[in-house]
Amino acid sequence: MFDWIGNPSAWVGLLTLTVLEIVLGIDNIIFISILSNKLPAAQQDLGRRLGLGAALVSRVLLLLTIGWVARLTEPVFMLPFADVPKETAEISWRDLILIGGGLFLIYKAVKEIHEKLEGEEDGGHSELNRATLGAIIGQIMVIDVVFSLDSVITAVGMVKEVSIMIIAVIIAIVIMMFAAGAIARFVEKHPTVKVLALSFLVLIGVNLVAEGSGQHMEKAYTYFAMAFAIGVEMLNLRLRKKGKPVQLHEPHMPP
């Protein structure tokens, strides 16, 4: 099982896959961070740990059933449209999971944005403030399945050893566990960053729906757009922090 330990290329594969798993897990961290912040303060860290723990379990289970995961890419039916290309008309269970997960992610993100904008006017007595730990973990587990499926399919395409995949996933999740708390506190502290993060989730949801519909979209473009938007927002935060109050009246000039 660990015959690859003496193989330098296997270690390179492990490092590369670990980094990729962390990058692919950014959207998962954002989703978990935003949802966990709706819990009482005493339960937020627990919610994040349980959410990432659920992600770890789901990914390892999927890796241990690679044969079943591979069969998920086989077509189960075809769309009855004559002018649709074959690769688009063929719908697999993977496609259905990605489309369903993408629509769920879009719905949750748009709902969160609406609550963020409209909830301020009702004194904060919104449905989000009454979230329970069980409800939050349930929502995290639903989207974890979608993110895990995408992550596992990527891992299978990169390396052949299941043990390498599992170790890479474990390392990535442990690193994300340490980063999740800081990310969650930063997002909650800055409302504009939270809206930006929710917009990212809408974008990722659209990507999932497109991917499930047979329209391949390079993730590099999505992550570059996200990185660029984050860079601009960091500059805005720095400028707001250093900015001076705007002078609303004409300075007094001596006669």
Residues 207-225 pLDDT 10s: 888 887 777 777 777 778 8
Q: pLDDT band for position 128 (50/70/90)?
A: very low
The separation between the first and the last C-alpha atoms of the chain, rounded to the nearest angstrom, is 89
- Put simply, whether the predicted model's pTM sits higher than 0.75 gets the answer no
The long-range contacts involving 247-255, CB below 8 angstroms and separated by at least 24 positions, are none
| Helix then strand then coil, % of the chain, to nearest 5 | 80, 5, 20
Q: How far apart are CA 4 and CA 163, in angstroms?
A: 9
Distance from chain centroid for Cα 234? 20
Q: How far apart are CA 196 and CA 233, in angstroms?
A: 8
Q: How far apart are CA 164 and CA 243, in angstroms?
A: 49
pLDDT (tens digit per residue) in 50-97:
888 888 888 888 777 766 766 777 777 776 665 656 666 677 887 888
Higher local confidence (pLDDT), 129 or 47: 47
3-class SS at 76? strand
Cβ within 8 Å of residue 236, ≥6 positions away: 192
Higher local confidence (pLDDT), 80 or 12: 12
**Mean pLDDT within 182-196:** 82
pLDDT for the residue numbered 123: 45
CA distances from 214 to 144, 152, 210, 233 (A): 21, 19, 6, 33
pLDDT for the residue numbered 127: 46
Residue 248, pLDDT > 50, answer: no
